[in-house]
Amino acid sequence: MIALLSRDLALAVRAGGGFGLGLAFFLIVTVLVPFGVGPESATLSRIAPGILWVGALLACLLSLDRIFALDYEDGSLDLLATAPVPLEGVVAMKAAAHWVTTGLPLVLAAPVLGVLLNLAPAAMGWLVLGLGLGTPALSMIGAFGAALTVGLKRGGLLLSLLVLPLYVPTLIFGAELVARGAAGQVTATPAAMLAAITLATCALLPFAAAAALRVNLR
């Protein structure tokens, strides 16, 4: 399992592996927003929580099709399906590799990009906490969607259509957590909901994704 995680991380770091692509997209979205809505500090501060979470969500979408597609094309996925390692564990490791190479850089870069949107200093910690709690769920949901569409030609669009509705609860509670943190309100409820969503997806979706892979590999 650790060897599989190390392999996926190494592939992501290589040229063309998608490492840094989500972070670059996140940066572009954050930089372009002030040009679209204007430079008013009050406006940027008000919309910053939602914009940052939408940018992070869309950045996670960019590399979802790589989770299983490359292994499917070179036949590695068939070998993994017949290996002694449970296929559910393979799904979990690939989702973890996606989070390390995509979600974790977004979490670390979010406070810096929040400054560009005039996010309130009181909300910086809640932004990092929210992304830290929510982005693992995005990667796991994305792995489930990638398992459903593996083997389909040009399945990237279908993958996005399948995954985006499942991302909505995480987006709602993540943005609400940051907004409440900026306003000095109680943040326990959105933080608990984010943690619950992540725990539920990590507990259930590896089994659903493994079942979808078995069907697609028949």
pLDDT, tens only, 161-202: 889 999 999 999 999 999 999 888 999 999 999 999 999 999
Give dist(CA 129, CA 86) in Å, integer.
Answer: 31
128 has pLDDT over 90 = yes
136 has pLDDT over 90 = yes
Total domains present in the chain: 1
SS3 of 150, please?
Answer: coil
Residues of the chain with pLDDT > 90, as a percent, come to: 42
Give dist(CA 142, CA 144) in Å, integer.
Answer: 5
What is the mean pLDDT of the segment spanning 157-164?
87
70 has pLDDT over 90 = no
Give the contacts of 201 (CB within 8 A, at least 6 positions apart).
136, 137, 140, 141, 144
Tokens 């979490």 belong to which residue?
A: 107
5 has pLDDT over 80 = no
**Burial (CB count within 10 angstroms: exposed 0-12, middle 13-18, buried 19+), residue 203:** exposed
Interaxial angle between packed helices 66-74 and 121-149, expressed in degrees from 0 to 180 and rounded to the nearest 10 = 30
Residue 99: count of CB within 10 angstroms of its CB: 22
Q: Helix-strand-coil percent breakdown of the chain, rounded to 5?
A: 85, 0, 15
When pLDDT is cut at 50, 70 and 90, the band that residue 38 belongs to is confident
Is 0.85 surpassed by the pTM of this model?
Answer: yes
DSSP structure class, residue 155: T
When pLDDT is cut at 50, 70 and 90, the band that residue 19 belongs to is low
> How far is residue 128 from each of residues 95, 132, 187, measured CA to CA in Å?
20, 6, 13
Q: What is the pLDDT of residue 16?
A: 53
Give dist(CA 192, CA 176) in Å, integer.
Answer: 12
Residues of the chain with pLDDT > 70, as a percent, come to: 94
18 has pLDDT over 70 = no
Q: What is the pLDDT of residue 17?
A: 52
Domain with 60, as residue range(s), is 2-216
Mean predicted lDDT score pLDDT of the chain: 87
